[in-house]
Amino acid sequence: MASTTTSPEAFGSATPSTSESYLTNERGFLSWLLTLDHKRIGVMYLMGVLFSFALGGFFALAVRTELLTPGHTVMEADTYNQMFTLHGAVMVFLVIIPGIPAALGNFVLPIQLGAKDVAFPRLNLFSFHLWLIGALFLVLSMYLSAADTGWTFYTPYSTTTTTAVIPATFGAFILGFSSIFTGVNMIVTIHKLRPPGMHWFRMPLFCWAIYATAIMQVLATPVLGITLLMLIVERALHVGIFDPALGGDPVLYQHFFWFYSHPAVYIMIVPAFGVISEVIAAFSRKRIFGYKFIALSSVAIAILGFLVWGHHMFTSGQSVLAGTIFSAISFMIAIPTAIKIFNWLGTMYQGRIFLDTPMLYALAFLWVFTIGGVTGMYLAVMSTDVHLHDTYFVVAHFHYVMMGGAITAFFAGLHYWWPKITGRMYDEKPGRIGAIIVFLGLNLTFFPQFIMGSQGMPRRYYNYLEEFTIYHQLSTVGAYLMGVGFLLAGINFYRSLRKKPDAPKNPWGARSLEWLTTSPPPYYNFHKPPVVDFGPYDYEDLVFDKKLGGYVHKSEAKS
């Protein structure tokens, strides 16, 4: 089908020359720090995100180690409170929110659109610089006296504690702007830079997911910015906004905070849906099932996501009527989410399924995210939420979604695009073992938390009643296991950079445009935008070339 119109560079040499590869065409530290190339910015984001992930993981292990026994194990209560706050703040603001949209999205999305760059390259660089500054503020707060408020910064605790809340919230404030600028860039890029022939429903689903995410980033994040600014003003100038001692209202803060932070949950998970759609289709060798439903359900989730913030506040004393409305809308969101899962299964049905590392992460995602999704229903049912709110059940639920969902999908995407980003293939075997260990570890970590949570164990507890010990210990063992899995993945990536073979253009046989260019791509991506007269999942036109270790177009194979 339509082989004549693919661009000339489509089936040339797999490896770009040194002067062409985006990795080597310019040298020196500043050529990276001041680059306008979306790929380099994406790689810098990626390094930042991976470093933050290691840091956040360290805090998580510190928390889990402390919880091995009731009472004092290795640290004091105040240190513990700082550790879980840092874990949450780093993982949310520095890892998951930028993870897929800013790191992978920056690299992949413009190439998927056949573009030379994002719409506003300078804004893109500025957004990364803001990310760096925001991250530095968070680190600065750790150095001064890390906040002990939880990542939610609830007032009036956050306005009265003696720890360095202002640098931490100011860091989050700056990171918010970074996120907004990335969102603006993605929206404009998708609207304006699509190549000839790529209408909206010919975009890869990853682009749809990033688009839905970008809308939420642009609309919701300013509210977080304003809220954190008000918190800083109250703390520094004693203007009564949230603290009742100054005439403010602490519940108002919760409304503001969740008005951002619930959409933020979807900012974190919707890009993951995009990655999973790409991976499951490519590794099932079959066109994605229900393309339009997956694409539009992301948009539906983005819209409904703005109307459910009050389900975090069923026990805050808000009225029964408010609770009723928020509960009802929360259930509505379950439907588009379920649609996606069923469509992914539909894609696998009758496919030819290759269980390579990205697919293993995607399968782990399907399993774990389903559990994360259904356990969300317990929290939307108001009567059971009253019992489960602020217990380990909630902790388990959102880790199944955020860790089992967003992070697993991030690793699926990282393994999927690694050959494209670095030009190197990683070793499959340790990759797969890593994926399996991560899957086992995360279930061992978080499943016991469901049980202790519904048994009544409150969250954010340094000390706990002896009856809960066994669950905590299982959970801690699971956390270490997960650490081993991620370490293995990290070592595998590192080794691939040193000695693994060069990657072919299209190792997985995917059809979106990034697989038409070399691995790694040249700094200009494409000489001219490819004309797109095929769908993003039309795999039947590709054949595997054993010599190249990758896929080529049918016409190319014959010649």
Partner 1 sequence: MTYLSSALLALMQQDTPKPKVPESPHFWMPTSSSTFAEATDWAFDFVTWVSAVVTIGVVIAMTLFCVKYRATDRSKNEQPTGNVDHSNVLEIAWSVIPLPFVIAFFVVGLQGFINMRTPPKEAYEIHATAAKWSWMFQYPSGYTTNELHVPKDRPVKVIIEAQDVIHAFYVPAFRQKIDAVPGRYTHAWFEAIETGEFPLFCAEYCGTNHSDMITKVVVHEKDAFEEWLEEAERKEEEEGLKNPVAYGETVYKQAGCATCHSLDGSPKIGPTFKGLFGKTERFTDGTTAVVDENYLRESIEDPQAKIVDGFPASMPTYKGKLSNNRLRALVEFIKSQK
Q: Which of 25, 315, 473, 555 binds partner 1 (CB under 8 A)?
A: 315
Q: Which of 33, 136, 236, 345 binds partner 1 (CB under 8 A)?
A: 345
In a 3-state reduction of DSSP, which class is residue 53?
Answer: helix
> Mask of contacts with partner 1, 130-169, x by CB under 8 A?
------------------xxx---x-xx--xxx-------
Tell me the H-state helices in 90-204.
97-98, 105-112, 121-145, 157-160, 165-192
> Mask of contacts with partner 1, 464-503, x by CB under 8 A?
xxxx------------------------------------
Q: Which of 355, 429, 470, 501 binds partner 1 (CB under 8 A)?
A: 355
Q: Would you count residue 546 as binding partner 1 (CB under 8 A)?
A: yes
Q: Which of 179, 391, 449, 492 binds partner 1 (CB under 8 A)?
A: 391
Q: Would you count residue 384 as binding partner 1 (CB under 8 A)?
A: yes
530 vs 10: CA distance, rounded Å: 9
Residues in CB range of 5: below 8 A, 6 or more apart = 530, 531, 533
In a 3-state reduction of DSSP, which class is residue 542?
Answer: strand
Spatial contact of 35 and 540, defined as CB atoms under 8 Å apart? no
525 vs 200: CA distance, rounded Å: 21
From residue 87, how far is each of 18, 91, 96, 176, 301 by CA, in Å? 40, 6, 12, 18, 27
> Considering only CA atoms, which of 99, 411, 440, 433 is closest in space to residue 279?
411
Q: Would you count residue 289 as binding partner 1 (CB under 8 A)?
A: yes
Q: Would you count residue 69 as binding partner 1 (CB under 8 A)?
A: no
Q: Would you count residue 382 as binding partner 1 (CB under 8 A)?
A: yes
Q: Which of 381, 487, 491, 531 binds partner 1 (CB under 8 A)?
A: 381
Spatial contact of 72 and 120, defined as CB atoms under 8 Å apart? no
- Count of positions on this chain that bind partner 1 (CB under 8 A): 96
Token pair belonging to 531: 């004309």
- Which amino acid type is present at position 212? A
CB of 281 to partner 1, least distance (A): 10
| Nearer to partner 1 among residue 218 and residue 252 (C-beta) | 252
* Alpha-carbon radius of gyration of the chain: 23
Question: Under rule CB under 8 A, which residues in 72-91 are in contact with partner 1?
Answer: 77-78, 81
Please give the angle made by the CA atoms of 44, 46 and 48, to the nearest 5 degrees. 70
Stretch that binds partner 1, among 202-210, 268-276, 289-297, 302-310 (CB under 8 A): 289-297
Q: Which of 385, 475, 476, 479 binds partner 1 (CB under 8 A)?
A: 385
Stretch that binds partner 1, among 216-224, 265-273, 331-339, 412-420 (CB under 8 A): 331-339
Residues in CB range of 166: below 8 A, 6 or more apart = 232, 235, 236
Q: Would you count residue 352 as binding partner 1 (CB under 8 A)?
A: yes
Q: Would you count residue 233 as binding partner 1 (CB under 8 A)?
A: no
Q: Which of 28, 199, 237, 317 binds partner 1 (CB under 8 A)?
A: 317
Q: Would you count residue 408 as binding partner 1 (CB under 8 A)?
A: no
- Could you give phi then psi for residue 540, rounded to 5 degrees? -65, -15
